[in-house]
Amino acid sequence: MHVARSNESRSTDLRLQRWKFVITLSTLALILSPVLGGRAEAQWAEPDQSIRELAPVSPVAQIYGNAPAAYRQGVELFAIGDYVGAADAFTRVLYFDPSDYEAYNYLGRSLYQQGKFASAITAYRLALDIRPTYGDALNNLGVALRANGQLEAAIAAYEEAIASNPRLGAPHYNLALLAESRDDRSEAKQHLRDAIAADRQFALAYRRLGAIELAEQNDREAANLLGTAIELDGRDDDVYGDLGLALVRLQRYDEAIPILLQGIDRTGDRRGDVHYAYGLALAATNDAESAILSYEQAIALDASDPTYFVAIGDAYRETGDVAAAQAAYGSALRLVEGNPTIPVYDLARVYFSLGDFYADDGAIANAINAYQKAIDFAPNFPLGYVGMADMFVEMGEYRNANDYYKLAIELDPDSPLIYTRLGLLLYAQGETELAADAWRTAIELDPNYSEAYVHLGNALAGRPVRRR
């Protein structure tokens, strides 16, 4: 069956085909010419929404008691974290009305919060004796069973909760947490999608699914999910930083900056990655000096992440502080070479920036060595191929440059950097119009990409066009 694609997808495909064609033509010209980007807590189900609002507890009711007053008091105590007092209040409710299954449910939650898992399980089972299809109590029973080490029984309780109330999202969410504990992200994501399908207002499911998509570099999907989580419930402090990071990766810097500022305001000095992401956004909008301040804050909070040192090194290069840039790259290298757990993409990013540093200094052999290491560590890292292509352009070896740019575009057809550097190759071959088109494509992809503007402006004005 034919499935219609989005305009954005078709645009990417057309752009990729276009530049493959341009590179092919360029390659042919070379042949024919002799010159040639917490885990969350278990989700509790709330009591049924049919519970009526109760009057404030009167002094007489506090002394002699009645079920509604005790229930109201229990809810209020639970809300402020007084779980001992809440358990006592719900016990009094059951003294007056032993058939109140919702009081048993809340009693179970109050006992669970005190670490009394076996007693909580008993309370939930008593609620279910009264109402066997009570989905909230079934879900909460699963939470307590899991805490008590009874995983198979917990799964059975979650599944029974789903069967009893298909509109309850919490048991799907809790099954997702179990899947994550087994490192099965695929299953976790499916359970979270089921939670959202069951309850479209379930903010925590959007939040958790968005965090997984972010970890898997599915940034567009992560941004959509995390944005929805904030719209539904903006009380989660960490979601702002995560959304900001996704937007930075998508090069949506104008949207990212205010979100990241909220993230910094909410998380303060707890998350270095939020300061780092804010620095990336500032650097992308040509404010390298402010970016350096953000990177310094990120490093102060976490000096073990090599990507922070790479970023600050890049910013120092932009400000012309060569010595500081070299020191930052050296710190990044020491971190990655001494830690076998560093992700290969981060390792490749360090060597790419080091290669750029050498290239700017005219040390082509050292630059080629660094770019090749980036490719060796991460064969799907497009910037490694860009760096190699740049060096071949510098050496006048345009055939090899074509091959490397082609590989880079196939890996990342939406990178403004790749089109900017491709323009340099085309310009060096005398293809001024095609070079200008490449720089315009880079600007279309990122209107803030200054390097493309510089090259395009120099070319149109008839001035020399150089790599930096």
106 in a structural domain: yes
What pLDDT, in 10s, does the model give residues 194-204?
A: 999 999 999 99
264 in a structural domain: no
pLDDT for 56: 35
Q: pLDDT at residue 304 above 80?
A: yes
**Binning pLDDT at 50, 70 and 90, where does residue 45 land?**
low
Radius of gyration of the chain (CA): 29
What CA–CA distance (Å, rounded) separates 458 from 442? 15
Tokens in use for 104? Answer: 């048993």
Winning range, highest mean pLDDT, from 11-15, 26-30, 102-106: 102-106
262 in a structural domain: no
| C-alpha separations of 355 from 390, 423, 428 in Å | 10, 19, 21
Least confident interval from 39-43, 103-107, 209-213, 394-398: 39-43
301 in a structural domain: no
Q: Look-up: residue for tokens 């009711």? A: 61
Q: Which of 383, 381, 425, 389 is nearest to 405 (CA)?
A: 389
Q: Look-up: residue for tokens 């809340």? A: 106
What is the total count of domains within the chain? Answer: 2
Q: What is the dihedral of CA 374, 305, 277, 193, to 10 degrees?
A: 90
pTM as predicted: 0.75
Q: Are 136 and 46 in contact (CB under 8 A)?
A: yes
**Binning pLDDT at 50, 70 and 90, where does residue 65 land?**
low
Q: Are 208 and 228 in contact (CB under 8 A)?
A: no
Residue 9 burial (C-beta neighbours within 10 Å; 0-12, 13-18, 19+): exposed
125 in a structural domain: yes
Give residue 449's domain range.
Answer: 414-468
Domain boundary among 150, 165, 180: 165
Q: At what angle are helices 83-96 and 67-79 packed, to 10 degrees?
A: 160
176 in a structural domain: no
For 237, which DSSP code? Answer: S
pLDDT for 377: 87
pLDDT for 16: 65
What pLDDT, in 10s, does the model give residues 322-344?
A: 999 999 999 998 888 777 787 78
What pLDDT, in 10s, does the model give residues 406-440?
A: 999 999 998 898 999 899 889 989 999 999 999 99
pLDDT for 218: 92
For 42, which DSSP code? Answer: P
Q: Are 166 and 133 in contact (CB under 8 A)?
A: no
What pLDDT, in 10s, does the model give residues 278-303?
A: 999 999 888 999 999 999 999 999 99
Cα 153 to the chain's mean position, in Å?
Answer: 33
Domain boundary among 107, 139, 165: 165
User: Longest C-alpha distance within the chain, in Å?
Assistant: 103
What pLDDT, in 10s, does the model give residues 345-401?
A: 888 888 999 999 999 888 999 999 999 999 998 999 999 999 999 999 889 999 999
Tokens in use for 129? Answer: 């004796």
Residue 467 burial (C-beta neighbours within 10 Å; 0-12, 13-18, 19+): middle
129 in a structural domain: yes
Least confident interval from 37-51, 165-179, 444-458: 37-51
What pLDDT, in 10s, does the model give residues 156-173?
A: 999 999 999 999 999 999
Domain boundary among 131, 165, 199: 165
Tokens in use for 318? Answer: 């932009």
**Binning pLDDT at 50, 70 and 90, where does residue 132 land?**
very high
What pLDDT, in 10s, does the model give residues 209-262?
A: 999 999 998 999 999 999 999 999 999 999 999 999 999 988 889 999 999 999
Q: pLDDT at residue 462 above 50?
A: yes
pLDDT for 238: 95
pLDDT for 50: 29
pLDDT for 13: 64
pLDDT for 22: 56
12 in a structural domain: no
Least confident interval from 37-46, 112-121, 203-212, 309-318: 37-46
Q: pLDDT at residue 28 above 60?
A: no
CATH number at residue 140: 1.25.40.10
